[in-house]
């Protein structure tokens, strides 16, 4: 079957559907430029999307791959995770080949964003789908005449059968800030990270690809340009305080995020930056 891209209504959200090689599929919402679903050639959904997600822009869509920019979490005065999660993005280029489908969405500053953050910017997300692989690239341009700094993340919600059975390998030896424990700085001493309670960590300068092992499912996770990795699972009690997560939602998700957090990124006037996360079914 040929690859294609079509506009669809995905659970009430206007989106683009990438039909990739060997039955692979990805869905990208115009709201937030957010990937909502990714099914590789084996037919299994790899991203978690809450069945209570709000798609009308009044809140960020809970799940998929939200784009956090120009502020990660509450590390500044802007709304949590920045300004672009709830915005409507424009569709830029699309292209299809025998072994891929690719789409670009973009969003720029406007009066509302400048009222909160006074910088002209252009954010572009490019989603590339192959049979067993998804690439998500975030590009940031500074068209203004003064430099700016930002923090950012691709806040990827991976779908897992049961988070208690997951091991995340590749973080051994790296320093992390533990947001679930008073922001203490620690060094990872385990060869595999197991999720056994609320987990909210920012690993710094991670220079290795990661391997997510979950039963008979393995996923390779690789980042370029994003130095940090955020690992988040709210577990039972925190999850109960999140209205757009179902009661057992925490069990079926693990966020493994490509992030630029502990050292803000500086972009010169007229300059640009890009970072990418790649997910590969192994």
Q: Applying CB under 6 A, does 91 fall inside the site for ligand TA6? A: no
Tokens matching residue 181: 């424990």
Q: Applying CB under 6 A, does 75 fall inside the site for ligand TA6? A: no
Q: Applying CB under 6 A, does 160 fall inside the site for ligand TA6? A: no
Name the residue nearer to ligand TA6 (CB basis): 148 or 250.
250
Tokens matching residue 282: 């192994």
Q: Applying CB under 6 A, does 254 fall inside the site for ligand TA6? A: no
Cβ contacts of residue 179 below 8 Å, gap of 6+?
73, 200, 201, 202
Number of C-beta neighbours around residue 9 at 10 A: 9
Contact 182, 213 (CB under 8 A): no
Contact 75, 50 (CB under 8 A): no
106-145 residues in contact with ligand TA6 (CB under 6 A) are none
Q: Applying CB under 6 A, does 184 fall inside the site for ligand TA6? A: no
Name the residue nearer to ligand TA6 (CB basis): 72 or 89.
72
Segment interacting with ligand TA6 (CB under 6 A) among 17-25, 73-81, 214-222, 265-273: 73-81
| 30, 119, 133, 155: residue in contact with ligand TA6 (rule CB under 6 A) | 155
Total binding residues toward ligand TA6, as defined by CB under 6 A: 11
| 5, 27, 53, 60: residue in contact with ligand TA6 (rule CB under 6 A) | 60
Tokens matching residue 236: 């039972």
Rounded Cα gap, residues 165 and 196, in angstroms: 10
Rounded Cα gap, residues 140 and 267, in angstroms: 8
Q: Applying CB under 6 A, does 73 fall inside the site for ligand TA6? A: yes
Give the 3-state secondary structure of residue 250: helix
Name the residue nearer to ligand TA6 (CB basis): 141 or 257.
257
Contact 232, 199 (CB under 8 A): yes
| 44, 80, 186, 187: residue in contact with ligand TA6 (rule CB under 6 A) | 80
Rounded Cα gap, residues 95 and 41, in angstroms: 19
Contacting residues toward ligand TA6, per CB under 6 A? 60, 73, 80-81, 155, 179, 200, 230, 232, 255, 257
């Amino acid at each position: 079957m040929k690859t294609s891209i079509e506009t669809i209504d995905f659970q009430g959200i206007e989106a683009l559907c990438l039909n990739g090689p060997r039955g692979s599929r990805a869905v990208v919402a115009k709201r937030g430029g957010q990937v909502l679903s990714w099914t590789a050639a084996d037919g299994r959904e790899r991203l978690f999307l809450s069945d209570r997600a709000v798609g009308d822009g009044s809140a960020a869509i809970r799940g998929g791959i939200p784009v956090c920019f120009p502020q990660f979490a509450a590390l500044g005065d802007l709304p949590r995770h920045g300004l672009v999660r709830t915005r409507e993005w424009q569709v830029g280029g699309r292209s299809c080949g025998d072994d891929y489908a690719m789409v670009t969405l973009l969003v720029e500053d406007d009066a509302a964003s400048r009222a909160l953050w006074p910088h002209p910017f252009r954010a572009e997300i490019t989603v590339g789908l192959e049979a067993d692989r998804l690439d998500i690239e975030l590009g940031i341009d500074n068209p203004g005449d003064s430099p700016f700094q930002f923090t950012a993340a691709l806040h990827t919600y991976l779908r897992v059968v049961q988070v208690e059975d997951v091991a995340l390998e590749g973080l051994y030896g790296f320093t992390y800030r533990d947001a679930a424990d008073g922001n203490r700085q620690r060094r990872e001493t385990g060869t595999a990270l197991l999720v056994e309670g609320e987990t909210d960590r920012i690993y710094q300068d991670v220079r290795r690809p990661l391997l997510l092992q979950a039963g008979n499912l393995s996923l390779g996770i690789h980042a370029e340009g994003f130095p940090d990795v955020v690992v988040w699972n709210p577990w039972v009690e925190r999850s109960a305080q999140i209205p757009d997560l179902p009661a057992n939602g925490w069990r079926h998700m693990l966020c493994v995020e490509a992030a630029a957090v502990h050292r803000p990124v500086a972009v010169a006037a007229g300059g640009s930056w890009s970072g990418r996360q790649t997910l590969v079914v192994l």
